Amino acid sequence: MAAEAYVIFEDTTWYKKHKEEIREQIFLLDTYVRHPIQIGTYLMKEGEYWLKGIESKLPPADWPYSVRIFLDKEDYIFIEISAHPPSIERTLTQFLNWIRKQTPIVFQDEDGEDFGYYDIKMKKLNYIAKPFLKWAGGKTQLIEQIKNNLPEFVFKEPFTYIEPFVGSGAVLFWLLNEFPNMKKAVINDINKELIDTYRTIAENPEQLIAILNNLQTEYHALEKQQEAKKAYYYEKRALFNSRSEEKVMQSALFIFLNRTCFNGLYRVNSKNEFNVPIGSYKRPMICDKENILAVSKALQKVEIICGDFEQTIHYAKDNTLFYFDPPYKPLSETSNFNAYARNSFDDNEQIRLRDFCYKLNNLNHYWILSNSDVQGKDKNNHFFDDLYADFEIKRVLAKRSINANPEKRGVLNELLITNNNQFEKYERAV
């Protein structure tokens, strides 16, 4: 039976004015489920948001969620807790503590008693690094499946982790948080602005926070002035595209655009100009101070490089795990979101990546790769099945929310490919 809890606001006016910010905080939780409007026969309600534990064990009755958060009430937040594994306890506490820092609240059960499971009055939150960007194709929803395909040495021995297409770093931060035996991580991406932002957070977080806080203050002040708000966004976009600012400011503009543009997309044209239009968020979280500081701390054991994915082979040692999250092969012409660098990642690049995976396999390095399941769109399309025929190919469910048409967002198969079948000495992690 689910427990019912209520977040009661002393200042209900604050709640009404800041619902968009609250939604943004939910979206940032690593247990947030980016669900479609309808799952099976269950029709989602407006203002309903799901959290699901990232542990391997599923919630009771195999439900697709552990917690449901309802923001459809006028004066309070209703929370239904069906399962509370450690990841849920952590992220729900994180969420409640964030609200508590903004405005006084009471967290109580259905009988009006203090909900004692989460001590939000006394508990000091230990911030855990999580992705600081929205990112099309972010891998939070695949963490459970990735965990189930990790080699045995990741659980027992010191290891090196290498991610040649780091993106938002969802898998990176999860591994850093969950596997203290990771002795080193190496991240790479061809997107220079992205890598420079990682380096800025690692090297100069306080200055970055100061600039982001100023951008957030200025942007939020224009909440009720739509034309001025649009002008401000496009002014900052033009400044970013000029590439005339020093690195910390350029990184701040990168984060600002990511938090305020349409769906958090990063897309450039042939001139390498960021061209994503403004999003519809009312008061987006632009400056997440606590997370930037947590990310900065986590990145101290990470080597950050920029360039072609093949250069990462030089960093591989004994007990090395590679995770590849390349630009996905598009399922259709309209679903191509891989133009986030001037050079597109076409089929020839997909083949070059396959050849690189063969090279790693011959050197006894373990790797996991994710990509789109093009066969789900066209049953006669065997592109990846042929390309990786010598390796283990699994089709896993993933939830996609990056689509201009909400009706086309939903649950799709994605591919999880490993060379697990090449190493008899490693048992599949369960």
Of 36, 25, 69, nearest to 51 by C-alpha is 69
Q: Quick check: is 114 in a domain?
A: no
Q: What is the pLDDT of residue 344?
A: 78
Residue the block writes with tokens 């940032």: 28
CA dist 288 and 95 (Å) reads: 13
Burial class (CB in 10 A: 0-12, 13-18, 19+), 107: buried
Mean pLDDT, rounded, of the chain: 84
Q: Quick check: is 210 in a domain?
A: yes
- Do 260 and 183 have their domain in common? no
One-character DSSP codes across 147-204: HTT--THHHHS-EEEEESS-TT-HHHHHHHHH-TTEEEEEEEES-HHHHHHHHHHHH-
pLDDT classification of 424: cutoffs 50, 70, 90: low
3-state secondary structure of 417: strand
CA dist 90 and 30 (Å) reads: 10
CB atoms within 10 A of CB 72: 11
Q: Quick check: is 30 in a domain?
A: yes
pLDDT classification of 410: cutoffs 50, 70, 90: very low
List Cβ neighbours of 118 (8 Å cut-off, separation of 6 or more): 89, 92, 93, 96, 107
**Contact at 8 Å (CB) between 117 and 96?**
no
CA dist 16 and 402 (Å) reads: 27
The DSSP H or E segment spanning 67 is: strand 67-70
CA dist 80 and 293 (Å) reads: 31
Residue 405 has pLDDT above 50, yes or no: no
Q: What is the pLDDT of residue 263?
A: 84
Give me the mean pLDDT over the 170-196 stretch: 95
3-state secondary structure of 303: strand
Residue the block writes with tokens 């990470």: 302
CATH, residue 387: 3.40.50.150
CA dist 402 and 263 (Å) reads: 7
CATH, residue 244: 1.10.1020.10
Q: Over the stretch 240-251, which tens digit does the pLDDT of each residue have?
A: 999 999 999 999
Q: Which of 90-94, 139-143, 201-205 has the highest mean pLDDT?
A: 201-205
Of 92, 109, 126, at which residue does a domain stop? 109
Strand ranges, E, within 219-325: 302-306, 320-324
Q: Quick check: is 125 in a domain?
A: no
Of 289, 319, 347, at which residue does a domain stop? 289
List Cβ neighbours of 209 (8 Å cut-off, separation of 6 or more): 287, 289, 292, 293
- Do 35 and 81 have their domain in common? yes
Of 247, 263, 289, at which residue does a domain stop? 289
Of 248, 260, 4, 220, nearest to 133 by C-alpha is 260
Q: Over the stretch 6-40, which tens digit does the pLDDT of each residue have?
A: 888 878 888 988 888 998 899 888 888 865 555 55
Total domains in the chain come to 3
Of 169, 148, 176, 140, nearest to 51 by C-alpha is 140
- Do 186 and 206 have their domain in common? no
Who has greater pLDDT, 58 or 261?
261
List Cβ neighbours of 255 (8 Å cut-off, separation of 6 or more): 132, 133, 197, 208, 212, 286
Buried b / exposed e over 351-383, threshold 16 CB at 10 Å, is eebbebbeebbeeebbbbbbbbbbbeeeeeeeb
Residue 78 has pLDDT above 70, yes or no: yes
Q: In this structure, what token pair is assigned to residue 227? A: 């034309």
Q: Quick check: is 381 in a domain?
A: yes
> What is the percent of the chain with per-residue pLDDT over 70, rounded to a whole number?
81
Of 47-56, 104-113, 128-137, the range with the lowest mean pLDDT is 104-113
3-state secondary structure of 234: helix
Phi/psi for 24 (5° steps) reads -60, -40
DSSP 8-state assignment for residue 268? B
CB atoms within 10 A of CB 206: 11
Q: What is the pLDDT of residue 30?
A: 87
- Do 318 and 393 have their domain in common? yes
- Do 322 and 381 have their domain in common? yes
- Do 236 and 271 have their domain in common? yes
- Do 182 and 215 have their domain in common? no
3-state secondary structure of 304: strand
- Do 338 and 358 have their domain in common? yes
Q: What is the pLDDT of residue 105?
A: 84
Q: Quick check: is 127 in a domain?
A: no
Of 114-123, 226-235, 347-356, 397-406, the range with the lowest mean pLDDT is 114-123
Q: How many CA atoms lie less than 13 Å away from 39 in the CB half-sphere?
A: 17
Residue the block writes with tokens 């590439």: 243
- Do 185 and 157 have their domain in common? yes
Domain span including residue 69: 3-109
Q: What is the pLDDT of residue 55?
A: 77
Of 386, 396, 392, 385, nearest to 419 by C-alpha is 392
pTM of the complete model beyond 0.85: no
Residue 356 has pLDDT above 60, yes or no: yes
- Do 183 and 234 have their domain in common? no
Q: Quick check: is 294 in a domain?
A: no
Q: Quick check: is 97 in a domain?
A: yes
- Do 337 and 370 have their domain in common? yes
The DSSP H or E segment spanning 211 is: helix 205-220
- Do 343 and 364 have their domain in common? yes
Q: What is the pLDDT of residue 194?
A: 97
CATH, residue 35: 3.30.70
Residue 97 has pLDDT above 50, yes or no: yes
